[in-house]
Amino acid sequence: MRVSVIVPAYNGHEKLDLTLAGLADQSYPAHLIEVIVVDNGSEPPLRLPEIRHPNTRLIVCATPGRANARNAGLRAATGDVIHWLDSDVVLDRVAIEAHMRWHHLAPYLSVTSYLRFTTVELPVPADVIAIDDRAKLFEPTEPHAWIVKLVDSTDKLRSSDHGAFRLHVGGSTSVNARLIKAAGPMDEGLILGQDTEMGYRLFEAGAVFIPEPRSIGYHLGPTMRMREGTSISRVSQAFIVDRVPHYRWLRTHPNRQWDVPYVEVEIDATDASYEDVRASVDGILGSTVPDVSVVLLGPWEELDREPERRSPLKDPRLDLMLIRGHYAYDSRVQIGGRSGRAPYVLRLPAGWVPGEDTLAELLHLMVERPLGLLSVLLSGLLEGGVMARLERTAAFARARMMAREGEDLDAIVGDVFGSMQVFRETFEFLPTAEAKRPVERRTAYRARGEVSNPSNAEAQRLIKENELLKSKVAEWRDESKRWRSTAVEFRREIGSLKKQVNALKRARGIGRLTRRLHGLLREPQPPRQ
């Protein structure tokens, strides 16, 4: 397999020369490597140094921006694998070989090197070629803490689920060219965060992300994110939130619409009635998942012909015209095209209406398991019955790359990601005739309030009674204060009375003694002998 190493560069001749020296003697066969240096408007223009890989060429991209430069290199690349490499990263001698060992195993891989950051005095290109152990030139170094944390906290990405795409960093990452073709090139509309956004699209195209510890890249100095992390996050998140639905913590607004929705619902209107399609679409748009869009399939090109104006009610295309006319100005509904940009796709037969919380419950089950396919039997038997299907986009994209001709994609998804079948009674799906029409948002809010409080009059009575009890409590508190004051006065009076009683008791005792003495004096004395 051939690999194209794309190195976008803007000025920085000294570091670029070291980067190219690191590519000059890679252990991977030289005839299978091409190096494309993209000059992104350097002043003075870049030139290729003497020490470089023999298959190195220089092209120019006058439009500023790293995404523009990388896409220019991508258009010029001929390899089976595309290896992004920053112009201030020096690869270890076996780095590309370590990447390519993985790419020989499967066509859906994205492999990332372990970067180490150095601030030592820069060597000369000849030293990079001459020394066997390049670590001796650049140590001491610091690891890429963010990548190490991501890998270690997810059991080497085994438990990261959809978060693995964050490993796609442009410093030194290789991707199968077939995978890039499926996902599309770098987004030139982004100021920052292009690596993350492309990582998301690669993930949805079926990529598996591999951290490769045997591939080491020495980053010459700190990255821009290390120097200005807070400012970079502020700028990139403002744009990334529209394009990466998995960043749920950035999508907290209850009514916002985003460029890439979290879930797309695909409904085939080809032979369906206007009423059935409208019931299904309105049920989806009225659900508790606002981050949703609807794609209506059908022969819409037939409506481009002149409509029957003299007898419009007899036009066989009438239902299609009504459907398109009804949703033509709803930004959440796409007339024609295909789904596939969102992480999840619900394929819903027209005429079946999900409950208000049905979509949220289905998504929760898909994420918690996690599953690649969740099928809901709407009517009939499991074999050949009418089904609603919630599909994980990444699962089916990878299955298509893995499948042999004629092989069943559902079976592959079930083996790799897992699948599950449930009945519509488990999740609320009703046919059009039984479903309730959506109501205006404020009315729905009031209705939910009435459901949570079955007797509104009783609730009001209890509120008033509660207020009355509060006023009674206040009265009782005042009364208790008066009683406490009275009790103090009583205690004082009791104390005074006790003193008086004691005094009386003492006076009464003296009287008794005096009377006793007087009695003794009055008694006759016995005669003396």
Q: Is 90 helix (H, G, I), strand (E, B) or coil?
A: strand
Q: Does the pLDDT value for residue 447 go beyond 60?
A: no
- Dist CA 29 CA 97 (whole Å): 9
Q: Is 310 helix (H, G, I), strand (E, B) or coil?
A: coil
Cα 159 from chain centre: 15
Cβ neighbours, 10 Å, residue 447: 11
User: 228 pLDDT band (50/70/90 cuts)?
Assistant: confident
User: Each residue of 329-341: pLDDT tens digit?
Assistant: 999 999 998 888 8
Q: Is 89 helix (H, G, I), strand (E, B) or coil?
A: strand
Bigger pLDDT: 8 or 507? 8
- Dist CA 55 CA 67 (whole Å): 23
In the structure encoding, which two tokens stand for residue 516, read together?
Answer: 């006793």
- Dist CA 180 CA 71 (whole Å): 11
Apex CA 64: angle with CA 62 and CA 65, to 5°?
135
User: Each residue of 119-140: pLDDT tens digit?
Assistant: 999 999 999 999 989 999 999 9
Is 388:375 a contact under the CB 8 Å cutoff? yes
User: Each residue of 299-339: pLDDT tens digit?
Assistant: 999 888 776 666 778 888 899 999 999 999 999 999 998 88
Provide the 8-state DSSP code for 528: P
Q: What is the pLDDT of residue 178?
A: 94
Q: What is the pLDDT of residue 241?
A: 92
- Dist CA 265 CA 293 (whole Å): 6
Mean pLDDT is lowest, of 69-73, 78-82, 294-298, 469-473, for 469-473
- Dist CA 327 CA 344 (whole Å): 22
Mean pLDDT is lowest, of 223-237, 247-261, 264-278, for 223-237
Q: What is the pTM of this model?
A: 0.80
- Dist CA 9 CA 72 (whole Å): 12
User: Each residue of 149-178: pLDDT tens digit?
Assistant: 888 888 888 877 778 898 999 889 999 999
Q: What is the mean pLDDT of residues 416-428?
A: 92
Bigger pLDDT: 385 or 75? 75
Q: What is the mean pLDDT of residues 495-514?
A: 72
Read off the amino acid at residue 323: I
Question: Beta 373-379 vs 386-392: how paired, if at all?
Answer: antiparallel
- Dist CA 20 CA 48 (whole Å): 9
Q: What is the pLDDT of residue 516?
A: 62
Q: What is the pLDDT of residue 441?
A: 59
- Dist CA 281 CA 266 (whole Å): 10
- Dist CA 285 CA 292 (whole Å): 7
* Phi, then psi, of 39 in degrees rounded to 5: -80, 115
Mean pLDDT is lowest, of 71-80, 174-183, 300-309, 423-432, for 300-309
Share of the chain above pLDDT 70, in %: 90
Q: Does the pLDDT value for residue 464 go beyond 90?
A: no
E strands present in 340-491:
344-347, 352-354, 373-379, 386-392, 419-423, 429-431
Q: Is 182 helix (H, G, I), strand (E, B) or coil?
A: helix
E strands present in 191-244:
208-220
Question: Beta 419-423 vs 373-379: how paired, if at all?
Answer: parallel
Cβ neighbours, 10 Å, residue 310: 6
Q: What is the pLDDT of residue 460?
A: 65
- Dist CA 278 CA 301 (whole Å): 20
User: Each residue of 396-419: pLDDT tens digit?
Assistant: 999 999 999 999 999 999 999 999
